[in-house]
Amino acid sequence: MTSTSSSSPTTRYSPLPFSLFSLTHTQRYIIPSPVRSLIHRLAEVGHLYSRVDAFVKDSQRRSAVGMIEQSLCHHLQAQLTEYYRLVAILESQMSIPNTDPDPADRESGLTLKRLDVWVNDWRLRMRMMSVCVEGARGTSFQVPPHPPP
């Protein structure tokens, strides 16, 4: 991550090119540190989702997949389906128009902080699923033959 000095509360953001967790210095946009931290935490969920989804899709494309890997992929796909439900709920929250004349009620929409609270549990789940995926990529899911007793 590119940032200013550790005492600087802001980082300048360049919209292009964007890569995960890289904020570059420009004069166009300034993102305060707390907002930048929220964005990183939210982006982490998307990054972990991409890793888990890629593993499941790759496993579905291969023909020689063991039963343990199939079971893992089935469970991961079920979890991703639950995650899709959360995303649908959050999208519906964003699309609700807020026409309250009272400014205090106007801020009852979906904010970055509220979004972070909604996805906190999923961030932990995605981390655990990503650890499982990385472990599965590093090992073979074939059970070695047991020696005769």
Alpha carbon 92 to its chain's center = 19
The domains of the chain are located at 33-138
Nearest Cα to Cα of residue 49 among 118, 121, 112, 122: 122
The confidence score (pLDDT) of residue 63 equals: 81
The confidence score (pLDDT) of residue 108 equals: 61
pLDDT(31) > 60? yes
Whether the model clears a pTM of 0.85, i.e. scores above it, the answer is no
| Distance in angstroms (rounded) separating the CA atoms of residues 137 and 131 | 10
CA dihedral 11, 15, 18, 24 (to 10 degrees): -30
CB 27 within 8 A of CB 4: no
| Distance in angstroms (rounded) separating the CA atoms of residues 22 and 3 | 9
User: What is the per-residue pLDDT across 48-94, written as a single tens digit (0 to 9) for each?
Assistant: 999 999 999 999 898 888 888 899 999 999 999 999 999 999 888 88
The confidence score (pLDDT) of residue 62 equals: 86
The confidence score (pLDDT) of residue 9 equals: 45
Query: Which is more confidently placed, 80 or 146?
Result: 80
